[in-house]
Amino acid sequence: MGLPRENAGPVAASRPKPAELDATLRQALRLHQGGRPSEAEPLYRGILRFLPDHPGVSNYLGIALKDQGKVEEAAAVFRRTVTVAPDHAPAQCNLGNVLFEQGLHAEAEAAYRRALALSPDMPDALKNLGFAIVHGGRFEESIPWFRRHAERVYGRPDIAAPGRAPAPPHQTRHDDEQRDYLKAQGVGADAASTFHLEAGDRLRGPAVKADRSLGEVAARWKSASPQIAVVDDLLTDEALHALQRYCWRSTIWRKPYPNGYLGAMPEHGFACPLLAQIADELRSAYPVLVGEHALLRWWGYKYDSRLDGIQVHADFAAINVNFWITPDEANLDPESGGMVIWDKPAPQDWTFAQYNAPGAGQAIRDWLARAGARPRTVPYRANRAVIFDSDLFHETDRIAFKEGYLNRRINITLLYGRRETAFAPEGDCR
């Protein structure tokens, strides 16, 4: 990014030459990109002494402040930037990010919409607008934004996704299997750049089965400590088959994890009316377990039986609804393949990073041992849901599924309600 050569205000005797300001900016960006925002901050401020209304440098300063946790200061910088340069889309998007982090979701939504009016394909604005709408309680309205993000980032081979790393072997193996499956299904004629999202329409009939034992489940839930409920035959046959088709045919498995599984997130296109229907009906079908909480996040995971599953962790939410959709005949061991849940919740003073960061597993296991926590294993069953307090530590049980694309284990997770912190949007617009 070059700085303007023309004068941007009164010329002071000590004003640096344009080349000096350019060099300062390059140094600031190197420090910032190297993970040293506190050292970049004074350099940005130094440039702004001479170019006070420069939107690009102001935007970088706001990001540096946010990266240091100075959210209020960052918000003030972004507000001033969009006032003096209302057509600067990155600052509008970043203002949305800090507003979202402050819990001001309606204001964040308005900022993302302004950013997209200026730059309709800005990936972070598309994604985070979707999440702002979800936090406003309007899941179905968010779907077009998430799908548009996926189309923009993954569906246009002429535009490289920012920061996309080479795919690890387990993702390549999956993608090759899916490409062959889609070709056999008549989807994706261009094998080199297959991109496809199923419609995933709502069903005319119900998606969630009415549970005849709901009263018993609710009574146990109220008195249970910890709160864990296992529900079999969660979805109607029509909903289960439609969701399987959507997960098999959509190219949504974009996030590889080192242990060997792949994630499908809303911004990857894992957002459709059928999921919204399931999420809504779960709240009405299980009012005691789920009903009072709003859906805030969701994802799918797909596994490679030659590798491991998700390690022990907890989720930042109130209620976790986890259910499995791969047919039972794919599971080689009906006594395993599900989930292990411990009967002790994560300490309230632990941060998200403490129990979700890479390498946190051993610290969690040490804590569980000291606390005398006992594990409960829930074996895998297709269409079985495990509904539990999201603070409880849990992990994937040992998995042994047949080879073959349609045999890969798939679980869907829906997170309802907050723990004690708001969801923080991802990405900075530059």
Q: Where are the domains of the chain?
A: 18-154, 169-194+196-416
Question: At 157, phi and psi to the nearest 5?
Answer: -60, -15
Is residue 214's pLDDT more than 90?
no
Nearest CA-CA partner of 416 in 282, 225, 233, 274: 282
For residue 216, CA distances in Å to 219, 230, 288, 390 come to: 5, 12, 11, 21
Is residue 268's pLDDT more than 70?
yes
For residue 142, CA distances in Å to 118, 218, 249, 273 come to: 19, 31, 21, 10
For 369-426, write each residue's pLDDT tens digit. 999 999 999 999 999 999 999 889 999 999 999 999 999 999 999 999 875 444 667 7
**Structure confidence at residue 1 as a pLDDT band (50, 70, 90):** low
Residue 297's pLDDT is 93
Beta pairing partners, 378? 339
* Burial class (CB within 10 angstroms; exposed 0-12, middle 13-18, buried 19+) of 404: exposed
Residue 10's pLDDT is 45
CB 261 within 8 A of CB 173: no
- CA–CA separation, 56 and 28 (whole Å): 13
Nearest CA-CA partner of 289 in 216, 362, 378: 216
CB 217 within 8 A of CB 231: yes
Lowest mean pLDDT among 31-35, 164-168, 303-307, 316-320: 164-168
**Structure confidence at residue 7 as a pLDDT band (50, 70, 90):** very low
- CA–CA separation, 315 and 395 (whole Å): 11
Question: Which contacts (CB < 8 Å, 24+ apart) does range 238-242 have?
Answer: 238/203, 238/205, 238/207, 239/203, 239/206, 239/207, 239/208, 239/274, 239/277, 239/278, 240/325, 240/382, 240/383, 242/200, 242/201, 242/203, 242/274
Domain 18-154, CATH number (from 2.70.180.20, 3.40.718.10, 3.40.50.720, 1.25.40.10): 1.25.40.10
Is residue 274's pLDDT more than 90?
yes
The phi-psi region of residue 186 (left if phi > 0; otherwise alpha if psi is between -120 and 50; otherwise beta) is left
Question: Same CATH topology for 18-154 and 169-194+196-416?
Answer: no
169-194+196-416 — its CATH code?
Answer: 2.60.120.620
Is residue 171's pLDDT more than 50?
yes
- CA–CA separation, 208 and 281 (whole Å): 6
- CA–CA separation, 53 and 281 (whole Å): 50
Is residue 315's pLDDT more than 50?
yes
Is residue 307's pLDDT more than 90?
no
**Structure confidence at residue 3 as a pLDDT band (50, 70, 90):** low
For 79-95, write each residue's pLDDT tens digit. 999 999 999 999 999 99
For 322-353, write each residue's pLDDT tens digit. 999 999 999 999 999 999 999 988 887 777 66
Q: What does DSSP assign to residue 260?
A: S
Global pTM value: 0.89
Structure tokens given for 423? 């969801």
For 39-74, write each residue's pLDDT tens digit. 999 999 999 999 999 999 999 999 999 999 999 999
User: Which residue in this structure is represented by tokens 């941060």?
Assistant: 351
Which amino acid is it at 387? Answer: I
Most confident of 190-199, 212-221, 254-263, 356-365: 254-263
Residue 191's pLDDT is 45
Structure tokens given for 243? 């969701």
**Structure confidence at residue 8 as a pLDDT band (50, 70, 90):** very low
